[in-house]
Amino acid sequence: MSATPFSSIDALTQALERAGYFADRRLATAVFLALKLQRPLLLEGEPGVGKTELAKALAGALGRELLRLQCYDGLEHREALYEWNYAAQLLHMRAVELRAPTLGTGVSSLPPEGALAGLGRPGAGGQETAEQAEREVYQDRYLIRRPLLQALQAPAPGAVLLIDELDRADEPFEAFLLEYLGEYQVSIPELGTVRAVATPVTILTSNRTRELHDAVKRRCLYHWLDYPDRERELAIVQARVPGASQALSRQVAEFVGRLRSQPFANAFQRAPGIAESVEWAKALVALDTLVLDPEVVSDTAGILFKQREDVAALTQDLAADLLKPEEA
Bridge-partner residues for 44, per DSSP? 206, 224
From-to residues of CATH 3.40.50.300 in the chain: 9-78+145-225
CA distance 37 to 40: 9
pTM of the model: 0.83
Confidence at residue 305, expressed as pLDDT on a 0 to 100 scale? 94
- Sorted by sequence, the CB contacts under 8 Å of residue 20 that are 6+ apart come out as 57, 60, 239, 240
Backbone dihedral angles phi then psi of residue 286, each to the nearest 5 degrees: -65, -30
Classify residue 51 by burial, with Cβ atoms within 10 Å: 0-12, 13-18, 19+.
buried
Q: Which CATH number fits domain 9-78+145-225: 3.40.50.300, 3.40.50.12170, 3.20.20.140, 3.10.110.10?
A: 3.40.50.300
**C-alpha gyration radius of the chain:** 27
CA distance 26 to 250: 24
Q: Are 298 and 312 in contact (CB under 8 A)?
A: no
Amino acid identity, position 322: L
Strand order in the sheet with 221-224: 66-70, 160-164, 201-206, 41-44, 221-224
Bridge-partner residues for 223, per DSSP? 43
The alpha-helical segments, DSSP class H, found in the chain are 9-18, 25-37, 51-62, 77-80, 86-99, 126-136, 147-153, 171-183, 214-218, 230-240, 246-260, 274-286, 294-299, 301-304, 308-313, 316-323
Per-10-residue mean pLDDT of the chain, 328 residues long, equals 81 95 96 97 94 96 97 93 89 78 43 40 54 77 93 96 97 95 90 92 96 96 95 93 95 94 87 94 96 94 94 93 81
Confidence at residue 125, expressed as pLDDT on a 0 to 100 scale? 52
